[in-house]
Amino acid sequence: RKEVEQDPGPFNVPEGATVAFNCTYSNSASQSFFWYRQDCRKEPKLLMSVYSSGNEDGRFTAQLNRASQYISLLIRDSKLSDSATYLCVVNSDQAGTALIFGKGTTLSVSS
Amino acid sequence: GAVVSQHPSWVICKSGTSVKIECRSLDFQATTMFWYRQFPKQSLMLMATSNEGSKATYEQGVEKDKFLINHASLTLSTLTVTSAHPEDSSFYICSATSRGTSGSTDTQYFGPGTRLTVL
């Protein structure tokens, strides 16, 4: 079983749409959770951390369910510039330094 | 925010040659640096963890004699791909951690990556 699993997509949506990405992780000892964004042929960039209580940053909302080992990312009012690959990332051990990446979910927003 | 640079950004080399990639933290001291590799349409895979002044810890399946890592200072780590072959062609990305405050998770900053093509 892969450590971090995501639906690879692609998700093709029109501008203004709401889209949700899901992710599951296998290591119940994982402590930190993130969503990264990666543009084509670029390095990943931190989009947001994910907290147990859920957190929101503008049009982006992240949720964590530790019992189900499930993480989600909701994007509202999609923009063309949101087109990218979204990576679900968890830490690999208690120290919280080494990151485990999912394969990513590709989003394409069209006008 | 903290900046991590990598050099070169891309390199093309002949099979059998060695390639050195540098990773620098520009405005902070990185206690730990990580090297990842990403093949097309695949996730980033951790290759090794590097702490300043000590030997790198390699992930299972990564040959330490082929991928030489040197972390001589708190701002520089190098990855040398020795006797490169076409199957080593990939996107190599480094990251560096800036120690967070007590009890907080270390923040990890990524370099822009190095695209290696071995002919």
**pLDDT tens readout for residues B56-96:** 999 999 999 999 999 888 899 999 999 999 999 999 999 98
- Write the pLDDT tens digit of every residue in A5-35: 998 889 999 999 999 999 999 988 888 899 9
The single-letter code of the amino acid at B28 is: F
- Region of poorest pLDDT, from A37-46, A63-72, B34-43, B94-103: B94-103
| Per-residue confidence band for B52, with pLDDT thresholds at 50, 70 and 90 | confident
Hey, are the CB atoms on B32 and A97 less than 8 Å from each other? yes
Specify the amino acid at residue B115.
R
Query: What are B71's two structure tokens?
Result: 């972390």
Task: Compare all CA atoms of chain A with the CA of B104 and give the residue at the minimum distance.
Answer: A96
| Residue written as token pair 């899901």 | A22
Q: How far is B6 from chain A (nearest CA, A)?
A: 11
- Phi, psi (degrees; rounded to nearest 5) at A25: -130, 150
What is the distance in angstroms between the Cα of A111 and the nearest Cα belonging to chain B?
25
Share above pLDDT 90 across residues of chain A, in percent, rounded to a whole number: 72
CA distances from residue B7 to A96, B37, B85 in whole angstroms, order as listed: 27, 15, 20
User: With helix as H, strand as E and coil as C, how does chain B read?
Assistant: CCCEEEECCEEEECCCCCEEEEEEECCCCCCEEEEEEECCCCCCEEEEEEECCCCCEECCCCCCCCEEEEEEECCEEEEEECCCCHHHCEEEEEEEEECCCCCCCCEEEECCCEEEEEC
Distance of CA A96 to the CA centre of its chain: 18
pLDDT cut 90: percent of chain B above it:
65
What was the pLDDT predicted at A70? 95
User: Are A110 and A12 a contacting pair, CB within 8 Å?
Assistant: yes
Greatest CA separation found in chain B? 47
Find the mean pLDDT for residues A35-60: 92
Sheet (strand B67-73) strand order: B4-7, B19-25, B76-81, B67-73
List chain A residues with CB under 8 Å of B115. Answer: 41
Residues 36..65 of B with a Cβ closer than 8 Å to A: which? Answer: 36, 41-46, 49
Spell out which residues of chain A touch residue B105, defining contact as CB-CB under 8 Å: 31-32, 49, 91, 96
Q: How far apart are CA A55 and CA B83, in angstroms?
A: 47
Instruction: Please answer yes or no on whether A97 and B106 come within 8 Å at the CB atom.
Output: yes
Split at pLDDT 50, 70, 90, the class of B101 is: very low
If one counts every other C-beta atom within 10 angstroms of the C-beta of residue A7, the result is 14
The single residue listed with the structure tokens 């520009």 is B26
If one counts every other C-beta atom within 10 angstroms of the C-beta of residue B43, the result is 22
pLDDT in tens, B24-47: 999 888 888 999 999 988 888 999
Out of A31-45, A59-73, B26-40, the most confident range is A59-73
Amino acid at B9: S
Is the pLDDT at A50 greater than 70? The verdict is yes
